[in-house]
Structure 1
């Protein structure tokens, strides 16, 4: 006989009970073990089974083991923490390995209110754009609306994305780069593409933008795409044009969901911003920013918050970020170093004056001067390298290097630029002076030691950012001599991205040596791509960056969401003796700082660099005492005036941008209550901690408290549990954090932590299978007197299944589960949820005689069928209606109908039944 099973039905097959999941095709069953997870799902054909697949019931067994109050409460907590398929509107909440901040839920709510989510998330550096995009992705996956996705990002961010998706969201994605693609494609059938074979991918933009790959990817691209560093896809350079063509081709599919991420969406370039917005909605590219209706439409797709928006005002998320203290550290040059810098400057001015005839020649001379002076000001080693290097037809690359622009196809360049000057006796003499200085004590390095010493005494772990490779190696070697007890490493562009990541990871302290301090010397190849907040808590700008956003990016590696230190310190070093430092401070950094104070935003350099170059040259000449007539002859004063105007324009543009595009449509009171419902249903990090403490104590291995860290000594656990945890890479003594941000070397103790999940699953199994961990005595029935009740009260621990029908482009049927506690007096439910949990958690006031306890349990079992058919059935139905209303409220946009319907599966599973009577009855 053929029996048709619907999702949520209980069946018996192969000697055990299963839950039927949505079927992959007619006549085939997808079954999940009743107490298992989706990873244990089997697909079977009933016609091929030896024994027939039959309907089953989950009844409270007549011989259910009795238990005491403390163990009953532990079982209820374990059941709540084992479930991963929540029915609420935040279906993904049970899968997260972190506790999102309220503000990070705003993009998720925005996405849920769009029929085809397309978002531009333009939050500040370090706020958590990766987390916000991951929340949208995980939620749509758990709603059955996303079966495949691609994250497109610069090559140096690929591994970071793979790691974040795995560690925070439990998503296993594969990296697709020029180095991995051929291996992934090996052995695939000719008709199958890499993106068909691997539905979850993180793809290097520079690999996929090539024309021969772009077209194939467009055909196989999943219908959900995240684009990181999206601003790098809309410029005029060839590489950016290729990226834009790729993305605009993907965006032409009106059903494709896209989330674009950038910390610099506007930057005063209206045309580039319009191209970026066209990826969200083509009409946005041509509409006026002054049109209020346009801004209202855009606000549904565009969210931009600055750090200052979140640490003040109504959001007030101060606990998400450390306090940031910034200081300047001026230092003096020695006479020999000052004379050398002045000699180089005099030489350069001579070149400039002789090249004053032609515009191109003069501009090349300016660039050569600035490039050489940057290197000389960085270190004698970098200056010597620049004097030795010769430029061969690469003058077009000189300007971007001077102004700290990354190339389109590579990481930040940290090689010292060569000069365009012809070799002559004067230049050779400068090289000899540089060689001599490189062997003498370096006053800049000595100043760095002075700046670092108090930081290190306070226990800080600093990152020192240098501009050039030669400088970084010089600084690393010098600091190793001064601080021999510190772990000191350097990361520069000579390492591949993987080697950089490994070198940083290797600096993490071992369990045996947690107190060793770390000091990292890095070039700007690390100012983007690798998050450093878990290992470092201070930043020193050894070399001034000539692009203000670069300082922000450097500090953003350390001062970001997840930084465990309460204070992050940053130090900017410069010499008032140096003409080049003074010029950069006056022309660039001080002006950018004024705008940042006025707007809360660090603006990049104006796009037109001619005025910048002229203003820098004019400032250097005046500082060096060059006659003013020369600056007039070279028309450098024109550049200074133009630069002032550019900065004023940048400030006004940023103020207008903030007024137009600040995200004010959604308020904390609209977001926070929805998440609090989820926390109450699934268990907060505090609930997870309490459960693990009680469970470990029940297993005879209490947690050891060490300040803000807990130590779980897994080696003393039952052998079966040890083996299960070892399979999850947990062994020995595990360090657990009790609050975010988690200190280095620890993991936040959440419901998804392997220790929490394994303990919860073991306890539930022990209650359902008397032979599993029988020594624990985790039973399913009990009776005791309690001061929390005034009359006989039954508390039922339920596992409730719901069928969720998602009405999207393709209708999906999903199975969801909740753990529920209900308290019943007579034939009515008097408490549910946290109120019922309070009753169950109230300690028993006495022990009942066994005969009395058994009588109360027997009566509760006898009444159970009536309760299941009456008040419990009504509770489950009303819970389904409540869930449907929650989905409708979060998902509906301006009056549209709900896209989710919820149906309860009756009857619910009764996991436990406990009788509480007043006082000492």
Structure 2
């Protein structure tokens, strides 16, 4: 029984097929000529009625000659169908995103490591998800890994699942408490869902417990991405469990690990170096090594750690990928009834604290948290204040629902999460108003009544200022997101905004909704031309908003500067089309709470960010400094807010925070100089990127192909604002049926740029629409039956007079397949690569390979005048007759391409000792896909000569 190698052609079941990898002596994995991945099949040779035979690809014929304008369509269809491209990156044919050059740096760093261990710490919004998933896709397509898991906080699971399937064609399942039982239900005894489901997105909170952790470590996939990796250090119980989980995973020296975080250093030196220790155990020693002994270890670390700020992207010629962020501050004053209520609440809060002096520590802390809750909520909105005043402070409840005596530790944990913003590496998304009621009294009822009466812009100067500012933003064409702290405030604002801006669609999204419901609510807003989103911090992580919004308003100041950056990063990030985004901070100029947060925390953070170029997390010692600052606000009486420097205004706590900020800044500056990634420059990466883009085709190629294909098939694209409509009912029935099988029917709204216009689908080279159109046109091209349609979409042969040549030039479009053999230790993998190559011969010169630009110039050249069919056929027949004698030249070109491909792979995935070896063999003979004869327009040349 003959052996058919990957890339060879065979004839079976009445048609021709390409042999794919994973075939063996008895079983062939095949893809039909002109078919796509969905048409692949398995053939078991012993059961075939007719023996499978070797086949050769048919040459073009005179019957397949068409107008020259149809020649470029064949090249586009061939290129855009390539999935196993022959460029230096295997994954580029299988992704639905066009990564920017700077996003290839982590990929190139990873490919230079035998076992990938990488910490990607790029700024918020630069594209860490793309960078991490691109590494996974590349190793999957190289056959180096078969399984993948993403570990992430629970609220990010759906986002990761969506990114993997939509952009990287990796169909992952989500594993957490509410899905694990269902996934495990149908498994045989002893089987792991991580074997049954090779691609998973796993909640860190679900998997970190000791029982699940041990089982996961036994069955964990060989490639692991950890998002928000800074939450996996050793501080705190939950984080301790996460750290132990990762320590167990990296104990396997062959497990690939990619850590993602925008804040690798949250102010805790031990936590930071523990994180580095996950990459390589000895990196943790950098913390204690004398400066003179660090150089070798620092050099080693630079190969595992990449951190870029927005300014670092400038040298990558990609500055246009990010909008210009313009920040502003607007203020209101505590006047009238609002000012009186605020002062009454502040006085009451002080009394609560003073009244508990001399009582037990638990009572003191309950009153203190109640006072702080009141300050936080009254600074947010009257609605939040009413809820806080009406809700009794409850630290915990028994199963019967009765408040019990709980530990001081439990009280502190819940109150801190509800009132403050959580710890730096675990910011809270709890947006329920904290309880502030510790007693039943006439005084409390009066405060509730006063707060309830304040709703509406006439009585609420903060709301009035927001309405005024939003009117300006909307008039200037911006689409705003208003972030607030509490649910009650969000609904209060949404009602007021809808009343004010009747032509806009306003929606409040809070923690009351499930993650799926939040996403659906945001998407629904996109159907409106004028839209305003009011959101709590449940949306400051997870859902990206750059497609729909262009401005952020901080209605409530966060008490943590990282939260501000996260809010703005939802809109100001990779993929934002607007050239400018706005960010506005709203605060009370005579509000002592806002004053403390603004002067002592937020302004200091911003000055450090401007100086260093990176956000330095607040050094808060688990909230102790913020609590001390707020205590100073409670105890400070009488002094006007702007009378002195902020350090004097807020006393010793402000000075302690300032000292902590200075220390954090110096450490960040030092670490920035020690760990900054400077090894890979644009000149190291851009050639690889351009080469792959040229081989496979980019966004412009997709747009040209789909537009021309749709036009040729009877349904031209219809421009609509910033996108297009494609009515599929006008396409041939066979094409409609294929599209329906892909879930595409009716009128499609499409866009060729990313992110797509609202309501449109981004059409990339791997989108089913492109595959169906390319398959259809290639089948037309390969059909050798005579056709009288000279204007057919695709031409396998043609001849034309053009002005782009001075000698008779023969252009051949070749499809070359290569067998790529990768050996790593005792394991050998056989992969297949395909590429479309154009070659040309001018006069009697030998054939030379054309660059992509030369190919476009010749195949895209306009015919200057008609060529009579007899003359066309004579030139074509002469070239067809010469094909046999040209075969040796084609084989030499294919072998040269194989060697070039080998060098590409060795250069990108270094083949040093222990890293494997590569061998590339061209599958011969090559496929002659198209043949075109271009003749110089003698008449035009004569006119030029006469004119001279």
Q: How does 1:128-167 map to 2 (within 5 A)?
A: 128-167=127-166
SS where residue 196 of structure 1 aligns?
Answer: helix
- Pick the aligned partner of 2:901 from 870, 878, 883: 883
What corresponds to 1:209 in structure 2?
A: 208
What corresponds to 2:726 in structure 1?
A: 712
1:866 aligns with 2:865: no
Q: Residues of 2 paired with 1:625 and 1:163: CA distance? A: 53
Q: CA deviation at 1:623?
A: 6.1
Q: Please say if residues 321 and 560 of structure 1, whose CA atoms lie closer than 8 Å, have aligned partners that are also in contact.
A: yes
Instruction: Please give the TM-score of this superposition, normalised by the length of structure 2.
Output: 0.91
Between stretches 591-600 and 890-899, larger displacement belongs to 890-899
Q: Please say if residues 327 and 584 of structure 2, whose CA atoms lie closer than 8 Å, have aligned partners that are also in contact.
A: yes
What corresponds to 2:322 in structure 1?
A: 321
1:86 aligns with 2:85: yes
What corresponds to 1:46 in structure 2?
A: 45
Between stretches 40-49 and 393-402, larger displacement belongs to 393-402
What corresponds to 2:246 in structure 1?
A: 247
- In the TM superposition, what whole-angstrom CA distance separates every residue of 1:362-406 from its partner, at most 9, and x where no partner exists? 665544332220111111111121122222335212223333117
Between stretches 754-763 and 771-780, larger displacement belongs to 771-780
- Pick the aligned partner of 2:302 from 296, 299, 302: 299
- In the TM superposition, what whole-angstrom CA distance separates every residue of 1:59-92 from its partner, at most 9, and x where no partner exists? 3165642112111222122212211110221111
Q: 1:691 to 1:920 in 2, by over 3 A?
A: farther
SS where residue 145 of structure 2 aligns?
Answer: coil
Q: Residues of 1 paired with 2:922 and 2:334: CA distance? A: 77
Q: Residues of 1 paired with 2:537 and 2:309: CA distance? A: 23
1:399 aligns with 2:416: yes
SS where residue 679 of structure 2 aligns?
Answer: coil
SS where residue 629 of structure 2 aligns?
Answer: helix
Q: Please say if residues 84 and 95 of structure 1, whose CA atoms lie closer than 8 Å, have aligned partners that are also in contact.
A: yes
Q: CA deviation at 1:773?
A: 9.7
What corresponds to 1:788 in structure 2?
A: 804
Q: Residues of 2 paired with 1:130 and 1:458: CA distance? A: 32
Between stretches 692-701 and 480-489, larger displacement belongs to 692-701
What corresponds to 1:113 in structure 2?
A: 112
Q: CA deviation at 1:23?
A: 3.4
What corresponds to 2:618 in structure 1?
A: 605
In structure 2, the gaps of 5 or more residues are: 396-409, 642-647, 940-948
What corresponds to 1:584 in structure 2?
A: 597
Q: Please say if residues 414 and 492 of structure 1, whose CA atoms lie closer than 8 Å, have aligned partners that are also in contact.
A: yes
Between stretches 717-726 and 169-178, larger displacement belongs to 717-726
Q: CA deviation at 1:235?
A: 4.2
SS where residue 84 of structure 2 aligns?
Answer: coil
Q: How does 1:432-581 map to 2 (within 5 A)?
A: 432-438=449-455, 441-509=459-527, 516-581=529-594
Q: Residues of 2 paired with 1:410 and 1:197: CA distance? A: 34
What corresponds to 1:824 in structure 2?
A: 841
Q: How does 1:195-344 map to 2 (within 5 A)?
A: 195-288=194-287, 290=291, 291-310=294-313, 312=314, 314-344=315-345
SS where residue 710 of structure 1 aligns?
Answer: strand
Q: CA deviation at 1:731?
A: 3.5
SS where residue 819 of structure 1 aligns?
Answer: strand
1:645 aligns with 2:666: no
What corresponds to 2:346 in structure 1?
A: 345
Q: Residues of 2 paired with 1:873 and 1:245: CA distance? A: 56
Q: 1:318 to 1:408 in 2, by over 3 A?
A: closer
Q: Residues of 1 paired with 2:918 and 2:243: CA distance? A: 35
What corresponds to 1:679 in structure 2?
A: 693
SS where residue 180 of structure 1 aligns?
Answer: helix
Q: CA deviation at 1:920?
A: 4.7
Q: Residues of 1 paired with 2:672 and 2:926: CA distance? A: 52
Q: Residues of 2 paired with 1:581 and 1:412: CA distance? A: 20
Q: CA deviation at 1:264?
A: 0.6
1:383 aligns with 2:396: no
1:72 aligns with 2:91: no
Q: Residues of 2 paired with 1:423 and 1:636: CA distance? A: 32
Q: Please say if residues 29 and 45 of structure 1, whose CA atoms lie closer than 8 Å, have aligned partners that are also in contact.
A: yes
Q: CA deviation at 1:675?
A: 0.7
1:697 aligns with 2:711: yes
Q: 1:190 to 1:6 in 2, by over 3 A?
A: same
Q: Please say if residues 483 and 537 of structure 2, whose CA atoms lie closer than 8 Å, have aligned partners that are also in contact.
A: yes
SS where residue 817 of structure 1 aligns?
Answer: strand
Q: CA deviation at 1:239?
A: 1.5
Q: CA deviation at 1:785?
A: 2.8
Between stretches 113-122 and 821-830, larger displacement belongs to 821-830
Q: Please say if residues 122 and 306 of structure 2, whose CA atoms lie closer than 8 Å, have aligned partners that are also in contact.
A: yes
Q: CA deviation at 1:488?
A: 1.2
Q: Please say if residues 60 and 930 of structure 2, whose CA atoms lie closer than 8 Å, have aligned partners that are also in contact.
A: no
Q: Please say if residues 827 and 871 of structure 1, whose CA atoms lie closer than 8 Å, have aligned partners that are also in contact.
A: no
Q: Please say if residues 3 and 25 of structure 2, whose CA atoms lie closer than 8 Å, have aligned partners that are also in contact.
A: no
What corresponds to 2:945 in structure 1?
A: none
Q: Please say if residues 60 and 796 of structure 2, whose CA atoms lie closer than 8 Å, have aligned partners that are also in contact.
A: no
SS where residue 451 of structure 2 aligns?
Answer: helix
- In the TM superposition, what whole-angstrom CA distance separates every residue of 1:206-240 from its partner, at most 9, and x where no partner exists? 12222222222111111001111111111422221
1:856 aligns with 2:887: no
Q: 1:373 to 1:772 in 2, by over 3 A?
A: farther
- In the TM superposition, what whole-angstrom CA distance separates every residue of 1:311-333 from its partner, at most 9, and x where no partner exists? x4x23422111111111110123
Q: Please say if residues 232 and 240 of structure 1, whose CA atoms lie closer than 8 Å, have aligned partners that are also in contact.
A: yes
1:802 aligns with 2:803: no
SS where residue 807 of structure 1 aligns?
Answer: strand
- In the TM superposition, what whole-angstrom CA distance separates every residue of 1:636-671 from its partner, at most 9, and x where no partner exists? 843232222111111111211211122111111111
What corresponds to 2:407 in structure 1?
A: none
Q: 1:570 to 1:656 in 2, by over 3 A?
A: same
SS where residue 437 of structure 1 aligns?
Answer: coil
- In the TM superposition, what whole-angstrom CA distance separates every residue of 1:864-899 from its partner, at most 9, and x where no partner exists? 11111x211111111111111111122228898874
Q: Please say if residues 610 and 639 of structure 1, whose CA atoms lie closer than 8 Å, have aligned partners that are also in contact.
A: no
Q: 1:211 to 1:772 in 2, by over 3 A?
A: farther
Q: CA deviation at 1:199?
A: 0.6
Q: Residues of 2 paired with 1:898 and 1:213: CA distance? A: 35
SS where residue 286 of structure 1 aligns?
Answer: helix
